[in-house]
Amino acid sequence: MRIAQNGSTVGVMDSITTTQTAGPGRRERKKLATKQALAFAAMQLAKERGLENVRVEDITDAVNVSRRTFTNYFSSKEEAIASLNADRAARAAEALRERPADEPLADSLSAVFAAQHEAAAHGMDRERIGLVQLLTSSPALRGEYLKTVVQAEEPLAKVIAERTGADPQNDLYPHVLAAAVMAAVRAATGHWMDNGGAGSLPDVIRQAVRQVVGSPADGPPAPAANPSQTNHR
């Protein structure tokens, strides 16, 4: 298997990874294309042969780069595969920041995460489905997958704090909500796949996210009283 490092090949992964069209300069785009090509090759080889039968050399041969190039981006084949999910998760916070400021938080969060999975509802995101199946197929991959989820929680919590007026340093609410939303998306995706992909994945995700966010009227909880102040009353 050979994975070309060009826009057309990496474009296949646009539903999973960061697009190549804007932002970074030429050198940065080339580095990003190499990173994505390595990750995509790792995933494809693992699907074809089984993860345990894939060596780093197999991945680098598929992309026609050196092992050193691979280690510039990843510490293991598991990390390479999980990075495909990390790119998607990392975009969630930015997408939330771009939603209308007056939109209820439940609507914004459910729309952001449902939109990331719209393609699967139309049968156009087989790579995404294959990735999720692969990520849950071994303990090592599950561990790397959970790392990407945890890493996505912090930037999401910061945007939630911005939208709710909470203090990201001292208030627990944005951090708990970010973790709960990421868990809801993971649970909804697993539930959908366990049921053979029946129905609309975006609808299942919307339902799951709304269940943890609550109604717009709920809002964030009031800050807890300072124990030192309470004791002096």
Q: Is residue 220 part of a domain?
A: no
Answer yes or no: is 46 within a domain: yes
How far apart CA 38 and CA 17 sit, in angstroms, is 12
Same domain, residue pair 161 and 99: yes
Do 46 and 116 lie in one domain? The reply is no
Q: Let me know if residue 35 belongs to a domain.
A: yes
- Look at residue 135 and tell me if it is in a domain: yes
Backbone angles phi, psi at 192, to 5 degrees: -65, -45
Domain span at 156: 84-213
Q: Is it the case that residue 135 has pLDDT exceeding 80?
A: no
- Provide the token pair at 169: 């340093």
- Those residues with Cβ within 8 angstroms of residue 64's Cβ, 6 or more apart along the chain or in another chain: 2, 5
- Assess whether 64 and 96 both reside in one domain: no
| C-alpha span between 189 and 90 (Å, rounded) | 17
In this predicted model, which residue has the larger pLDDT, 231 or 36?
36
Amino acid 217: pLDDT? 45
Express as a percent the part of the chain with pLDDT over 90: 45
Based on the fold, state whether residues 170 and 94 are members of the same structural domain: yes
Last residue of a domain, one of 16, 40, 73: 73
Residue 78 lies in a domain: no
Asked if the structure places residue 11 within a domain, the reply is yes
Q: What angle do CA 112, 118, 124 make, to 5 degrees?
A: 145
Q: Encoding tokens for residue 114? A: 């449902």
Residue 43 has pLDDT above 50, yes or no: yes
Number of domains the chain is built from: 2
CATH number of the domain that residue 179 is part of: 1.10.357.10
> Are residues 66 and 175 located together in one domain of the fold?
no
58 and 153 assigned to the same domain:
no
Instruction: Please indicate whether residue 71 or residue 191 has the higher confidence score (pLDDT).
Output: 71
95 and 117 inside one domain: yes
Residue 190 CA to residue 193 CA, distance in Å, equals 5
Q: Taking 50 as the threshold, does the pLDDT of residue 210 lie above it?
A: yes
**Whether 38 and 106 share a structural domain:** no
DSSP for residue 216:
T
Same domain, 37 and 92: no
Q: Would you state the structure tokens that stand for residue 33, as one six-digit string?
A: 């294309």
Residue where one domain finishes, among candidates 54, 73, 92? 73
Domain boundary among 53, 73, 93: 73
pTM of the model: 0.69
Residue 27 and residue 49 in one domain: yes
Whether residue 202 is found in the same domain as residue 141:
yes
Which span out of 70-74, 134-138, 226-230 was modeled with the highest average pLDDT?
70-74
> Does the pLDDT at position 46 exceed 60?
yes
What is the pLDDT of the chain when averaged over all its residues? Answer: 80
pLDDT in tens, 85-106: 777 777 899 999 999 999 999 9
